[in-house]
Structure 1
Amino acid sequence: MKQVPFIAVEGPIGVGKSSLAREISNYYQYTLLNEIVEENPFLGNFYKDIDEWSFQTEMFFLCNRYKQLEDIKKYHLAQGQPAVADYHIFKNQIFAERTLQSQQYEKYKKIYYILTENMPEPNLIIYLRASLDTLLERISLRGRDIEKNIDPAYLFQLSSDYDKFMEKFSKDHPNVPVITFDGDKIDFVKNKQHLKTIFSEIDQHLCVSN
């Protein structure tokens, strides 16, 4: 049976997930799914005091992503309409494991597995990674007030967590292709040739899956 394309763009904060998902949506005419970020009422406090605000922040993200994926499944994928998202819900595990206390994390995992059961799974993942300097530069350029207090050490550790998680994900999900791009070497916003390179890679995988 032919798969309905569902692409997820992933990577650490500031790497360009939303920008690339938007470009993919425009180019392929896919439904665009953007995660809710600035609407999270706990996020500003989270960057000031991670220990105090991590559980509220992660629960807000989990519930909103759950609702978004329910809607994309029901109203788009089930109707044969391809989609691209600027996240995969597995990112919740990366952030929660890093920020939550052990007892909180155990409670969180139980809720996570209940909510994500039967969720739509992307059949292609684009992983954007970059050095700390590049991430900090891009975060500064987009100028979100809530991100002004991001600790560079937290961001560096998060990038490392992503690399480890993606390596494990690729081994555990051999049928889900992961295309990795180095944000230090490729800038699809400033260089449209880089964007064409990304589209070319996507085309190859879409042809194989279809």
Structure 2
Amino acid sequence: MKPKVIVEGTVGAGKTTFIEVMSKKLNLEPIYELSDQKLVEILEKFYADPAKWGFQLQIYFLTKRFEQMDLAKKKVDVIMDRSIFCDHIFPLTLLKCGKLTNLEYEIYKDLHTTLLKLATAPRLMVYLRCSTETAIKRIEKRGRSWELKVDKNYWYVLNQCYEEYFANYNLSSLLVVNTDNIDEKFEGLDDLIKELLKSKRKVICEYDGKSVKRSVRNAGDSR
């Protein structure tokens, strides 16, 4: 069975707020990123020395993403925070920033490709788009110490990698929401999501807070 909705976007795009609002409006169970003490410990080491701990962190994140997807497939009526489908964006960003070697990235990519064969695409993917400047302002506002330590260039590269991935996404219907200036109540988006979930075609919609642009993408598998 396909999990209903996956929400993706760069750090600071507004995923948590969006999921909190939409889970209530759509009567879907929210599934947030899975974590445990081991992941917390690796994260602390990563932020202290990204080049040394980047590979270990990404492999463990991939493990948690797979567990998250397996849970979502069993529950079905869920709205998920991130997924295994976009997990490769983070190690790619580290590679481009010089914090991951080519060999480490190739090892990660081989494992990611294998696990994707066991994953189930959602009925709808929601991509929360925002400018890197907006993302950085939100990151600074919430004040998480480990995020504040990150070189700002990382956020620019990460956002660009997200844009490149979703420019060719076609695993399911896709809703792109520009969150730079949108009201956090996301009025009316629940009706649009309901419509997209009913569609038997792969529909692409972009919402800028005022209007919706629609298109239909050819069938295929971007993996």
Measured against the shorter chain, the TM-score band is 0.7 to 0.9
What is residue 204 of structure 1 aligned with on the other side?
Answer: 195
Contact kept? 2:46, 2:52, Cα under 8 Å: yes
Richer in helix (by share)? 1
Deviation for aligned residue 1:90: 1.8
The equivalent position to 1:83 in structure 2, one of 63, 78, 82, is 78
Number of equivalences: 194
One-letter amino acid of the structure 2 residue matched with residue 117 of structure 1: K
What is residue 15 of structure 2 aligned with on the other side?
Answer: 17
One-letter amino acid of the structure 2 residue matched with residue 205 of structure 1: L
Deviation for aligned residue 1:46: 2.5
Contact kept? 2:69, 2:83, Cα under 8 Å: no
Contact kept? 1:8, 1:122, Cα under 8 Å: yes
Deviation for aligned residue 1:14: 1.0
1:132 aligns with 2:112: no
Contact kept? 2:129, 2:177, Cα under 8 Å: yes
Deviation for aligned residue 1:164: 0.6
One-letter amino acid of the structure 2 residue matched with residue 198 of structure 1: L
The equivalent position to 2:92 in structure 1, one of 82, 90, 97, is 97
CA distance in 2, matches of 1:37, 1:156: 25
CA distance in 1, matches of 2:125, 2:149: 29
CA distance in 1, matches of 2:87, 2:30: 20
CA distances 1:55-87 after superposition (whole Å, capped 9, x unpaired): 01101111111112112223x12xxxx111011
Deviation for aligned residue 1:165: 0.7
Specify which structure has the bigger relative contact order, considering alpha-carbon pairs within 8 angstroms and separated by 6 or more residues. Answer: 1
How high is the TM-score relative to the length of structure 2? 0.79
Contact kept? 1:33, 1:85, Cα under 8 Å: yes
In 2 relative to 1, CA 5–37 (structure 1 residues): closer, same or farther, beyond 3 Å? closer
In 2 relative to 1, CA 69–33 (structure 1 residues): closer, same or farther, beyond 3 Å? same
Gap regions ≥5 residues in structure 2: 95-99, 202-223
Kindly, what percent of the aligned residue pairs are identical? 29
1:168 aligns with 2:145: no
CA distance in 2, matches of 1:20, 1:4: 20
- CA RMSD in angstroms comes to 2.1
One-letter amino acid of the structure 1 residue matched with residue 177 of structure 2: F
Tell me the secondary structure at the aligned position of residue 64 of structure 2.
helix
CA distances 1:171-203 after superposition (whole Å, capped 9, x unpaired): xx3xx1111111212131xxx3xx113223212
Deviation for aligned residue 1:10: 0.6
What is residue 66 of structure 2 aligned with on the other side?
Answer: 66
Deviation for aligned residue 1:4: 5.6
Deviation for aligned residue 1:156: 0.7
Deviation for aligned residue 1:115: 2.5
